[in-house]
Amino acid sequence: MEVSRISDIAYLSGVIDEESDFSSMLTPPFIQAIDFSAVSRVNSIGLRSWMLFMTKWGDKPLNYMNCTTEISDHLATIPALRGASKRVVSVLSAMIPYDCLKCDHMEDIMVKRAEVVPVTLPKVVSPKCRICSGEMELINPSIVSIFTA
């Protein structure tokens, strides 16, 4: 995993694994956000390093941007990735998997926090299919909780 920092955003890229070093994000001036768009994969040891990073990060607010579908899945199943003792992370945008009820087209769609909080917009619950204009549905409806719960 590479960490490149531009202003107060840390851009992660590559694989989050046993080689991943989160320490550069733990020194002041602190980052405001992490962008996950270029993360290709996360393994179990990488998840552990990420959780340890959250413990050290503490109670400071932090934003997650451009989460991949894999990252979204991990956020939905491992609350500690959004804060060790309490939730400090706001997920600003994440790829969410959908499938079309009519033609079975599957697509990952970028959902923004503003489309979900305070009220989940219909376009998040059932966007139009790009192929047939039919109604798409969330493959895992509970994943929307990464923006809220």
Contacting positions for Zn ion (CB under 5 A): 100, 102-103, 105, 129, 131-132, 134
- Cβ proximity to Zn ion, 106 vs 114, nearer residue: 106
Q: Which is nearer to Zn ion, 103 or 139 (CB)?
A: 103
Give the nearest distance from C-beta 138 to Zn ion in angstroms: 15
Closest distance to Zn ion from the beta carbon of 27 (Å): 48
Residues with Cβ < 8 Å from 34, sequence gap 6 or more? 9, 10, 11, 12, 25, 62, 63, 64, 65
Q: Which is nearer to Zn ion, 54 or 138 (CB)?
A: 138
CA-based nearest residue to 110, from 149, 72, 63, 58? 72
Contact 92, 63 (CB under 8 A): yes
Q: Which is nearer to Zn ion, 54 or 129 (CB)?
A: 129
Quote the least distance from Cβ 101 to Zn ion, whole Å: 8
What is the smallest separation between the CB atom of 136 and Zn ion, expressed in angstroms? 7
Task: Classify 29 in phi/psi space as left (phi over 0), alpha (psi -120 to 50) or beta.
Answer: beta
What type of residue is 142? Answer: S
**Contact of 132 with 100, CB cutoff 8 Å:** yes
